Structure 1
């Protein structure tokens, strides 16, 4: 049975290395979100860098999830000091478990603060697609599907929660 991949992407107002209070709040909520989401029914896994360092995305070893990639519209830094983005790539048993995890609990609270942390880019912030049981989605898969969603709208290979629920 196929699994559902979920890629999220947002451009932050500040670099991840910024020591300002907003950055600390963002990391603090993020530290609570991942353990909660990973315990949700239907959760199968998410991309994690092998070294696990915060703020290091480009050049990290992501294993089967592939080389880290970002959409063309991301125009900020790519070094640990200048990177200003948040991206996730995860696997789920289906859209309802993924939706429920994203829109409940600590993550829902974080979503209520998104405009404190993220720029409004006019681009979609998430995309979903089905993957075979034996495949691991890659960062580039997520980027290409998000860019397709932005340019052409929903399709069977790139859609949103609104399209399937």
Structure 2
């Protein structure tokens, strides 16, 4: 995509316990560090902020009134920048351990789409894109990693889906 567009992404998860529960304490304790690192990465543009309280990340943006549903909504200059953060930093270690802190989601919970440079998507807009992806599959309106030819790292460094034990 040319420089007039940037890549937005939404990732939704449901914690296995409330944010103050010891079962998710390690995840909650790392949020500020991981989010701060992401904000310093080349190609990072913007992140939806939660309450702003230390150690809460975006957990203040509950979905459907359920405080255990958390969302990460960011904008990046390009696919390569997002991939670099996801797969080439400590973020990957937390991604690989996601089953420790998050319920296995039965349906899609990740979506990307192109936004005009300078646009900051709302959570409502992002959830609409996710619903569109669920209903229609990959399209220019909403897509996953496999839809992007320029996405390379997820093919080699991505993790296998988490299976129920």
**Is the TM-score greater than 0.5?**
yes
1:90 maps to 74
2:30 maps to 29
1:109 maps to 93
The alpha carbon displacement at 1:28 in A equals 1.9
- TM-score w.r.t. length of structure 2: 0.78
Q: Distance in 1 between matches of 2:131 and 2:123?
A: 12
Q: Distance in 1 between matches of 2:60 and 2:20?
A: 10
Q: Distance in 1 between matches of 2:84 and 2:118?
A: 25
* Superposed structure 1 runs of 4+ greater than 6 Å apart: none
Q: Distance in 1 between matches of 2:118 and 2:39?
A: 20
Give matches, 1:77-156, under 5 Å.
78=66, 83-156=67-140
2:8 to 5, 10, 15: 5
Q: Distance in 2 between matches of 1:94 and 1:161?
A: 13
- TM-score w.r.t. length of structure 1: 0.78
Q: Distance in 1 between matches of 2:7 and 2:145?
A: 11
The higher-RCO structure (CA 8 Å, 6+ apart) is 1
Q: Which runs of 5+ in 2 are unaligned?
A: 152-165
Q: Does residue 17 of the first structure (1) align with residue 20 of the second (2)?
A: yes
Matched residue of 1:108: which SS?
helix
1:43 maps to 44
The total of aligned residue pairs comes to 142
Matched residue of 2:34: which SS?
helix
Q: Does residue 57 of the first structure (1) align with residue 58 of the second (2)?
A: no
Matched residue of 1:103: which SS?
helix
Q: Which runs of 5+ in 1 are unaligned?
A: 59-69
